[in-house]
Amino acid sequence: MEKPIINYETLIRITKAISMIRDPEEILLITVEGVTSALGIKGCAVFLFSAKTDELKLACSYGLSDEYLNKGPVNALRSIASALQDGQPVAISDVTDDPRVQYPEAAQKEGVASILSVPMIIGDKITGCMRVYTAERWEFTLNDVNFVQAVAQVVGMALEMCRVNKGLKDSIDILKTMRDPKTLKSQKRTPYEGVPKSFARQEIAETSA
pLDDT at residue 198 in the model: 42
> Could you give the C-alpha distances from 187 to 5, 31, 174, in angstroms and in order?
28, 15, 21
Residue 1 lies in a domain: no
Residue 39 lies in a domain: yes
Residue 204 lies in a domain: yes
pLDDT at residue 88 in the model: 85
- Residue 93's CB: how many other CB atoms inside 10 A? 15
pLDDT at residue 152 in the model: 93
Give pTM, 2 decimals. 0.82
Averaged pLDDT in 10-residue chunks for the chain of 209 residues: 69 83 86 90 93 89 93 79 76 90 94 95 88 93 92 91 85 79 55 44 40
pLDDT at residue 63 in the model: 94
Residue 2 lies in a domain: no
Please give the tally of structural domains in the chain: 1
> Could you give the C-alpha distances from 70 to 23, 27, 74, 171, 184, in angstroms and in order?
25, 22, 10, 22, 15
Residue 3 lies in a domain: no
Q: Which of 157, 209, 202, 205 has the alpha carbon at shortest distance from 13?
A: 202
CATH number of the domain residue 192 falls in = 3.30.450.40
Q: Which domain holds residue 140?
A: 8-208
Model confidence pLDDT, tens digit, residues 9-62: 778 888 888 888 888 888 898 899 989 988 999 999 999 988 888 889 999 999
